Amino acid sequence: MSDATVLLELAPQAGAPILQPATPTAAPSTTATAVAADPAPSSAEQGVWRQGLVAALAWLLLGALTWWWPNKEIGFSDWAYTTEFAVLTAALAVLLAALALAGERAGRVLRWLRPAGAWLIAAPALLAVWEVLTAKLGVLPPPFFAPPQSLLEVYLDDSARLGLSVAHSLRLLVHGIVIGSLVGFVTGVWVGWSRVAGYWVHPLLRFLGPVPASALLPLAFFFAPSSYSAAVFLVALATFFPVAVLTWSGVANVSKSYYDVARTLGASEWFLVLRVAIPAALPQVFVGLFMGLGASFSVLITAEMMGVKAGLGWYLQWAQGWAAYANMYGALLVMAVLCSGLITLLFTVRDRLLGWQKGTVKW
């Protein structure tokens, strides 16, 4: 086996602890191994989920409050879907109570819900305060403030327009984030590896990077062939800067001892870049991707308000123009869920790709 072949097996795990030959020890017993691999559930997990019962009671009280307390009429007949909202909260209360009483028999669903027990109690309490201040007492006047059932009305009656806007925004985000991430990644590796690129490109990144992408909106729409391509450019630009800077930082800070070992074994320059520098810099790259994802959402609204015919930004502008503030709040909630879902997906990809670094990187 050649030295390069040996390095091929070792270099992708740069930064991971070097495995030493293990000292022969007695094999653990089968019983001990089974206990360590599959610990027995605690007595609290085996019995009734008390926090779930409290959450079920809280949702049931929210439904009762919505059902029995009449809405205050302010300039119009009534808030739509009040009854449906009360029935929905009561159904959720029944479902939570069934899961809480089932205990460990609920299986994976209960294990997934158990950490969110406190939030399942706080959510109906906050919704109750919201309901009382808007629909019941009218302290927060319409149309600027709408009760929770108004969101249900938006998602049921305007689902076609809102769904089309979500699809357009997702397409725009995917195109912009992918282009900006790829260009930023290549630029960061180039700047971090090459002294010439570091001399010429690094000052440009420091000078132009802090400029908000939305500030270049007039130039983007002047040079771009269409409003959609201009929006993609702005989203890509917002993603490019954090990915490029943190990739450059990760590559530049790779321990020199890794390169020395690789060169001793006869590795080429391309091997050093692809199998040593990039794997060791991946934690920093993912930090840049997280930052770029947040920046892309902030630019998305601005980009879609200028000439785009559909999208969440366009939907927000349309809702504000017609004073449909419930639709605006519904779109903002969809954006929050969409951003949270993409961040969760990125966390999953990071954990899958960087599982070998969990012993050396703080998560």
Helix 278-304 × helix 227-252 angle, to 10°: 150
Quote the pTM value: 0.76
Whether 275 contacts 136, CB under 8 Å? no
Whether 299 contacts 235, CB under 8 Å? yes
- Say how far apart CA 206 and CA 203 lie, in whole Å: 5
The number of beta carbons lying within 10 Å of the beta carbon of residue 156 is 11
Predicted confidence (pLDDT) per residue in 291-308, tens digit: 999 888 888 888 887 767
Q: Which CATH architecture has domain 160-357?
A: Orthogonal Bundle (1.10)
Query: What residues does each domain of the chain span?
Result: 44-143, 160-357
Indicate left, alpha or beta for 286 from its phi (over 0: left) and psi (-120 to 50: alpha). Answer: alpha
Task: Check residue 300 and give its pLDDT.
Answer: 86
Task: Check residue 59 and give its pLDDT.
Answer: 96
- Say how far apart CA 326 and CA 153 lie, in whole Å: 9
Q: How many residues does the chain have?
A: 363
Task: Check residue 357 and give its pLDDT.
Answer: 65
Burial 200-230 (b: 16+ CB within 10 A, else e): ebbeebeeeeeeebbebbeebbeebeebbeb
- Amino acid of residue 52: G
Whether 58 contacts 121, CB under 8 Å? yes
- Amino acid of residue 210: P
Could you tell me what percent of the chain has a pLDDT over 90?
41
Whether 68 contacts 60, CB under 8 Å? no
Predicted confidence (pLDDT) per residue in 105-161, tens digit: 888 888 888 999 999 999 999 999 999 999 998 888 887 888 999 999 999 999 999
Task: Check residue 360 and give its pLDDT.
Answer: 53
Burial 35-74 (b: 16+ CB within 10 A, else e): eeeeeeeeeeeeeebebbbebbebbbbbbebbeeeebeee
Give the residue ranges of the chain where pLDDT is below 50.
Answer: 1-45, 77
